[in-house]
Amino acid sequence: MTAPIPFERPVFVTRPVLPPLGDYVALLETVWQSHALTNMGPMHQMLERAIGDRLGVGQVALWNNGTSALMGAIRALDLRGKVVVTPFTFPATVHAIALLGLEPIFADIDEESLTIDPAKITEVLVDEVSGIMGTHVYGRLCDTAGIFEVAQASGLKVVYDGAHSFSRNPPIFPDDPTVLGDITTLSFHATKLFHSVEGGATITSDPELDRRLRLLRNFGIASESDVELIGMNGKLSEVHAAMGIAMLGMIEGEIAQREGVASAYIAGLEGVDGIRIVAGNAQSMQYFVVRVDPDAFGSDRDSLFDTLRSMNVVARKYFSPLCSDMEPYSALPSAQNLPIARAVASQVLALPFYGGMSTDDATRITDIVKWHHDGNRR
């Protein structure tokens, strides 16, 4: 195989999708005319309804980002003491627990789904645990039925970080607490397939929880004369909500383009020993992730990462390091023994994946992977 030609400019793991500027400006003109800039204004309400309709759930509350949605969820459920959480997630999931003064307890993940394993949750349960937080990794659902069972048996609340799952179509959010948990959160950060630059949401099938979430989002203010609980400022501004509205029209086209890129990746990687595709095929169009089995592939993930980097392909080791290995958490007893998560974190690699890429770019990237596999190193 002849040496691949490096990309002229870096190809990053993602590139935010943008609506036509004119569409956004037209919405901003409405904002300018109304002088309503935030506090659940018309754009916010329109986006909240539109997202509820798309997901097929009634009780969606928008937030200013996914992290405050997670913190709102923990407060709405009044979690105390300790919360069992996956180590294989973005830091925000674990930080939300710790920032509120609670202690995370890590439980290992399932080898196949890469999500928190209900059997491992049972193993780490102690009296002070009040809740469970799982992440639908790359849009792959947690074992929601298994987690529901553990939660019911021990009287625990369940929060799902669904930051990766919104793009999935058809959506994964039935109005069903066995699947939604008590609360599911979303992120609309710029790097997600659907975004409002910054933004997030909570989903619940419980009207009382939904009411508490909305209070928490707005300083606990129930009425002009009544502050009912300790709340925060988690409101999505009109400028951000308008971006979300403009982006709603972009999702299906972006998914279709990504499907083309995914097909090129899948075709190019077929038959390469030691490379397994774990995201980018059906579960979600948010990421395209492979797992590198070092024995079968003949080199490890980090070495492949370096070769790709030398060719101007900026892949991401997503999620590596594990949250349990990060400075604030690495001394916790539960951080010490997570063999599956640790092995998985050393093998995953998110390849560049966005609609603006050509299928040709994807094929060139798979050629680099094959070239590396054939024993060439940079």
User: Rounded to the nearest whole angstrom, what is the least distance from the CB of residue 315 to ligand PLP in the complex?
Assistant: 16
Among 48, 110, 117, 161, binds ligand PLP (CB under 6 A): 161
| Site residues (CB under 6 A) for ligand PLP, limited to 86-115 | 89-90, 92-93
User: Rounded to the nearest whole angstrom, what is the least distance from the CB of residue 142 to ligand PLP in the complex?
Assistant: 12
Residue 65 contacts ligand PLP per CB under 6 A: yes
Q: Taking phi first (over 0 means left), then psi (-120 to 50 degrees means alpha), and beta for anything else, what does residue 349 get?
A: beta
Look up residue 210 and give its DSSP letter. H
| Site residues (CB under 6 A) for ligand PLP, limited to 246-285 | none
Helices 21-34, 238-248: axis angle to 10 degrees equals 140
- C-alpha 366/C-alpha 265 separation (Å) is 6
Residue 25 contacts by C-beta under 8 Å, 6 or more apart in sequence? none
Single out the segment in contact with ligand PLP by CB under 6 A; choices: 109-117, 161-169, 238-246, 261-269: 161-169
Among 200, 244, 268, 280, binds ligand PLP (CB under 6 A): 200
Residue 271 contacts by C-beta under 8 Å, 6 or more apart in sequence? none
User: Which of 261, 264, 324, 320 minimizes the C-alpha distance to 287?
Assistant: 261
By the 8 A CB rule, do 82 and 103 touch? yes
User: C-alpha distances in angstroms, 203 versus 59, 116, 185, 209?
Assistant: 6, 20, 6, 10
Residue 118 contacts ligand PLP per CB under 6 A: no
By the 8 A CB rule, do 202 and 66 touch? no
Residues touching ligand PLP: how many (CB under 6 A)? Answer: 14
Residue among 40 and 69 whose Cβ is closer to ligand PLP? 69
Q: Beta-carbon neighbour count of residue 225 at 10 Å?
A: 6
Residue 240 contacts ligand PLP per CB under 6 A: no
- C-alpha 329/C-alpha 317 separation (Å) is 19
Residue among 89 and 205 whose Cβ is closer to ligand PLP? 89
Residue among 36 and 248 whose Cβ is closer to ligand PLP? 248
Single out the segment in contact with ligand PLP by CB under 6 A; choices: 46-54, 60-68, 120-128, 259-267: 60-68
User: Rounded to the nearest whole angstrom, what is the least distance from the CB of residue 70 to ligand PLP in the complex?
Assistant: 7
Residue among 73 and 311 whose Cβ is closer to ligand PLP? 73
Residue 155 contacts by C-beta under 8 Å, 6 or more apart in sequence? none
Residue among 65 and 204 whose Cβ is closer to ligand PLP? 65
| Site residues (CB under 6 A) for ligand PLP, limited to 291-330 | none
Interface contacts to ligand PLP, rule CB under 6 A: 65-67, 89-90, 92-93, 135, 161, 163-164, 187, 189, 200
